[in-house]
Structures are given as C-alpha cells and as structure tokens.
Amino acid sequence: MSDPATDMMAKITGGVRLESAEEMTPEYRETLVHLLTMQADSELAGGYGYVPWITKAPTVEEKHVVAQIVKDELRHATVMYGLLADLGFDVDTHVRQHDQLLTMRIEATADIGTARITSDKRVNIFYYPIDTWADFVFFNFCMDRGAGHQLEDVRECSYGPWVRAIDGIFKEEKFHIRHGEYWVKKLAGDRQTHDEAQATFNRWFIRTMNIFGRPGSPKNQVYRRLKLKLRDNDEVRHAFASEVKDLCEKFGLTVPVWTPKWAELPEEAHIPG
C-alpha cells in the first residue's frame, strides 16, 4: 500500500502541482491554509486602509485611481478567500470574527518591528495608519513592491489553484507599484516635498523590510520543502532592497539603515514567512 505523504511529495518534487484537498497531507493543507489566510487578510486590511483616500486624494483623477486600487484589493481578498473555501475553510466565520480587527490601526509613531498584535493573519505592516498622501504613495512604492517579490514564489508553487489565481493579482499589483513609483519620483524631485518624501520613505522602507521574516526561519524551511515558497526570507528581502536602492538613487532618496530585531523577539512573535 502506498503512503499518501510519499505519493504527495513525489508529485511535488516531480513538478506536478496539487489541485485538491484530497491530494494533501494534513501538514500541507494546514500550511497552505495559513499562507492563504495571511494573504487574504492582508488584501482585505489593505483595501480598508485605502478607503479614506478616495475622498482625500489630491485630484479627481487620483480619487479614481485610489478607488480602483481599493477595488483591486477587495477583489484579491475575494479570490483568496475563495481558495480557502475550496479547502473547506469557514471563510464567513473567520471574516465575521476578524472584520472589525482588520480595520484597526496603531499610532503612526509606534514601532512593532515584526510582531503581530491581533488574531487575524494580516502582515503586520497593515497595522500602521496611512495618514498623508505621501504615506499612501510610499506604501504603494514599498509594500506593494515587497508583496510583488513574495508573489514571484507563488507563481511557481506546488498548489495549482493558487498559481492560477495569482497571475491576475500580480498584474494588478504591478499597477499599484507603478502608481507609487510615479508619485515617489514626483515628490522626491520637488524641493518643497523632498524632505517629507525622504522622511516618509524612511518609515515605510523599514516597515517593509520587516515583513519578510527571519533568515533560515523554521517555518520558511517547511514552506520550501512543500514548495509553497522557493526562496529563503533573506533572499526575497535582498531582492526587494536591491531594487529599491537602484530606484532611489535615480530619485535622489537615501535608503535608510535597517537593523533586524530577530534576537529581541521569541519565534512566535515573528511574522511567518
């Protein structure tokens, strides 16, 4: 009699993607649900955080752009929760229990490093408020770019429905990144807004560097063994940081020094990654 775990791993290592819960071991399903929930909750929390900027954006054209970004994020959340529902996850109960939490924001001056402070699974950068137009711009520039680097792994992962779903999401995230890039260049190049741009970039760059998780994380090793991720956390972080550094040299911004805080926190406090 064949062993289900051995059969599953043979498929994965052979480059065959899984298509249904019936093909999964409990470990694979649990790990996949965790990652999908992280993305779904992050997409929903991100959309909620952008909503006020539909009315506060500086021009009518930008109000339309923000509204489109909100629509994209809510669509992404819907797609991700749909994948979870297909795995037997009780999406309605989860969202009902966490919907109010997902709108919660901390003080802008707070620094929570890599800690998660609520029971939802969003990436912790979504706890920070978006208080200014520059915040909105640099969130697009940094976090959406960071998420894009993480989604690169998903495009080659071992779960077929996630691979197919991520294609459309990836294209829309590229639009968000381009929007942020346009405005960063504009704000950084204007003497009247350059200092605010630098100060805002400093905050969001550090926060984004914290989203990738610890180098050599045990959880990341499991993700890679199951081919739900392909790279170590630090490899993805360095790819993001290198791209940002090259762009900021063109825009006249200085990349701030980032110091990891892994040693200060217990394993369970770190963002899974």
Report all structural domains of the chain as residue ranges with CATH numbers, in order of start: 24-107 (no CATH), 133-161+174-262 (1.20.1260.10)
Which parts of the chain fold into alpha helices (H)? 4-13, 26-50, 53-56, 60-86, 91-98, 133-139, 145-154, 160-189, 194-209, 218-225, 233-251
pLDDT digits (tens, 9 = 90+) for 164-206: 999 889 889 999 999 999 999 999 999 999 999 999 999 999 9
pLDDT band at 4 (very low <50, low <70, confident <90, very high): confident
Q: What is the mean pLDDT of residues 252-260?
A: 94
User: Model confidence over 213-245: pLDDT tens digits?
Assistant: 899 999 999 999 999 999 999 999 999 999 999
Q: At 3, is the pLDDT very low, low, confident or very high (cuts 50, 70, 90)?
A: confident
For residue 263, what pLDDT band results from cuts at 50, 70 and 90? low
One-letter identity of residue 178: R
The pLDDT of residue 273 is 41
Write the pLDDT tens digit of every residue in 14-40. Answer: 999 999 999 999 999 999 999 999 999
Q: Identity (one letter) of the amino acid at 46?
A: G
Q: What pLDDT is stored for residue 166 in this prediction?
A: 94
Dihedral angle computed from the Cα positions of residues 261, 263, 266 and 270, in that order, rounded to the nearest 10 degrees: 30
For 80-105, how does the pLDDT look when each residue is reduced to its tens digit (9 = 90+)?
999 999 999 999 999 999 999 999 99
In this prediction, residue 269 has a pLDDT band, given cuts at 50, 70 and 90, of very low
How much is the pLDDT for 143?
A: 96
Q: How far is CA 73 from CA 42, 59, 100, 127, in A?
A: 9, 21, 17, 16
Q: Are 74 and 51 in contact (CB under 8 A)?
A: no
The C-alpha atoms of residue 258 and residue 271 are separated, in whole angstroms, by 17
Rounded to whole angstroms, the Cα distance separating 269 from 228 reads 22
Q: Which residue has the tokens 């001056």?
A: 109
Distance of CA 51 to the CA centre of its chain: 18
Are the C-beta atoms of 180 and 205 separated by less than 8 Å? no
Distance CA 3, CA 213 (A): 33
- Give the model's pLDDT for residue 267: 45
> The pTM is what?
0.93
Residues 113-169 pLDDT 10s: 988 899 999 999 999 999 999 999 999 999 999 999 999 999 999 999 999 999 889
CA–chain centroid gap for 117, Å, is 17
Cβ neighbours for 159, distance < 8 A, ≥ 6 positions apart: 17, 18, 32, 228
Does the pLDDT value for residue 258 go beyond 70?
yes
**% of the chain at pLDDT higher than 70:** 96
| 11 — pLDDT class (breaks 50, 70, 90) | very high
Query: How high is the mean pLDDT of the chain?
Result: 93
How far is 268 from 117, CA to CA, in rounded Å? Answer: 11
For 234-262, what is the mean pLDDT?
94
- Vertex 154: Cα angle to 105 and 226 (nearest 5): 110
